[in-house]
């Protein structure tokens, strides 16, 4: 059931712009901090999850997203944890699909570990989802189990099969980890491109209780690109999603490779996004601790005026960039906030 439009303010709030004149048209919304994996770079194996009562309801998440759409957000990515382990999450997808159908929202998508795709792929395709990102760091089953601690690679691969069969475009995300999966990047890229899927590599970030391990396994993507260049011809691509990835076309495969480099190549000057946690906290930067409570204004009034005021105040204070490089070099302590809480 969707949110009654009568609960939305009759005012016409302006588009979202931060203090550095950057237009915010993309939000990543975590629907849960829970996950059925325990990836080394994302959460501790003995993580303590939030009480369910602390989470925004699916109705509140839908209303919150609708308020952002009314402010000019054109892309919503649902994340977690693992978004597909949230009970009843398809209700949220169905509610948000109406914004895609009206043209107000350009894209509704999600990032997933793939464990639940075999079950949900067809339903997602029916909810106006056209493409998804699947996190996959290796095709070696034993190594996959070691990285994810609980993950089952064959199940994830069946999920990718189901997604493609349902007509979803799939992009593979891989966190590059020195001494763990650096030897897999060529084979993983060839496999992804052979199935018509783009490939994006991401540098490990100093977040969570295991941030020190992430720093120890930090692998600059320049080294990943060098490994790929030994096997493929990389040419700068004209493709852009408006996000932080820099893309290259591979002549031999006909596919694209993206590199997201929060440490080795700061991309903050073009930042177009904010993140909302499953408890309704707005983080304007993944690498900063500044946050704003959106749950209180969301629950305080049926109008979105208080909510919009809180969003505007947070954006006005949004910093120019993150501190990942300083944290990686020990200048500042790494963030203890896990990646799973902030929404990937």
Does the pLDDT at position 94 exceed 90? yes
When pLDDT is averaged across residues 50-55 and rounded to a whole number, the result is 90
pLDDT digits (tens, 9 = 90+) for 259-308: 998 765 555 666 788 999 999 999 988 666 678 999 999 999 999 999 99
| Ordered DSSP codes for 263-298 | TTS--GGG--EEEE-TTSEEES-TTS--EEE-HHHH
Lookup result for tokens 């709030």? 13
Note the pLDDT of residue 76.
Answer: 98
Note the pLDDT of residue 298.
Answer: 97
Q: Is 65 annotated as a binding residue?
A: no
Measured between alpha carbons, how far is residue 203 from residues 41, 77, 170, 263 in Å? Answer: 10, 20, 20, 7
pTM above 0.75, yes or no: yes
Q: Is 171 annotated as a binding residue?
A: yes
Q: Is 35 annotated as a binding residue?
A: yes
Q: Is 149 annotated as a binding residue?
A: no
Does the pLDDT at position 108 exceed 60? yes
Note the pLDDT of residue 332.
Answer: 47
Does the pLDDT at position 9 exceed 60? no
Q: Is 174 annotated as a binding residue?
A: no
φ and ψ at residue 250, rounded to 5 degrees: -105, 115
Q: Is 169 annotated as a binding residue?
A: no
| Ordered DSSP codes for 77-130 | EEESS-GGGSTTHHHHHHHHHHHHHHTS-SEEEEEE-STTHHHHHHHHHHTT--
Note the pLDDT of residue 207.
Answer: 55
With cut-offs at 50, 70 and 90, classify the pLDDT of residue 328. Answer: very low
Cα-based angle 127, 96, 13 (whole degrees, multiple of 5): 155
Share of the chain above pLDDT 90, in %: 69
Q: Is 247 annotated as a binding residue?
A: no
Long-range contacts of residues 258-261, Cβ cutoff 8 Å, at least 24 apart: 258/198, 258/199, 258/200, 258/201, 259/200, 259/201, 259/221, 259/224, 259/225, 260/200, 260/201, 260/202, 260/203, 260/221, 261/203, 261/220, 261/221
**Structural domains in the chain?**
5-171+271-342 (3.20.20.70)
Q: Is 278 annotated as a binding residue?
A: no
Q: Is 44 annotated as a binding residue?
A: no
CB atoms within 10 A of CB 217: 19
Q: Is 343 annotated as a binding residue?
A: no
Give me the chain's average pLDDT, please. Answer: 87
Q: Is 155 annotated as a binding residue?
A: no
């Amino acid at each position: 059931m969707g949110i009654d439009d009568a609960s939305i303010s009759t005012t016409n709030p302006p588009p979202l712009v931060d203090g550095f004149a950057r237009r915010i048209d993309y939000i990543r919304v975590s629907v849960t901090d829970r996950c059925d994996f325990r990836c080394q770079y994302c959460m501790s194996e003995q993580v303590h999850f939030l009480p369910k009562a602390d989470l925004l309801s699916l109705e509140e998440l839908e209303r919150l997203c609708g308020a952002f759409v009314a402010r000019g957000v054109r892309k919503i990515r649902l994340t977690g944890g693992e978004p597909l382990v949230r009970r009843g999450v398809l209700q949220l997808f169905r509610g948000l699909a109406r914004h895609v159908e009206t043209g107000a929202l350009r894209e509704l998508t999600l990032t997933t570990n793939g464990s639940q795709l075999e079950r949900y792929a067809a339903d997602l395709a029916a909810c106006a989802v056209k493409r998804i990102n699947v996190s996959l760091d290796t095709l070696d089953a034993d190594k996959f189990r070691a990285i994810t601690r609980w993950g089952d690679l064959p199940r994830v691969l069946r999920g990718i099969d189901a997604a493609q069969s349902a007509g979803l475009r799939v992009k593979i995300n891989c966190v590059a980890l020195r001494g763990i999966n650096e030897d897999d990047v060529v084979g993983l890229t060839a496999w992804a491109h052979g199935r018509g899927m783009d490939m994006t590599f991401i540098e490990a970030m100093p977040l969570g209780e295991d941030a020190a391990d992430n720093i120890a396994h930090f692998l600059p993507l320049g080294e990943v690109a060098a490994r790929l260049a030994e096997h493929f011809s990389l040419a700068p691509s004209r493709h852009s999603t408006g996000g932080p990835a820099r893309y290259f076309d591979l002549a031999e495969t006909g596919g694209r490779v993206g590199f997201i480099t929060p440490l080795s190549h700061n991309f903050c000057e073009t930042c177009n996004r904010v993140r909302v946690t499953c408890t309704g906290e707005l983080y304007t930067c993944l690498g900063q601790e500044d946050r704003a409570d959106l749950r209180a204004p969301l629950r305080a009034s049926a109008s979105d005026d208080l909510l919009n005021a809180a969003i505007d105040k947070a954006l006005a204070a949004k910093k120019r960039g993150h501190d990942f490089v300083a944290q990686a070099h020990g200048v500042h302590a790494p963030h203890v906030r896990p990646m799973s809480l902030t929404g990937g």
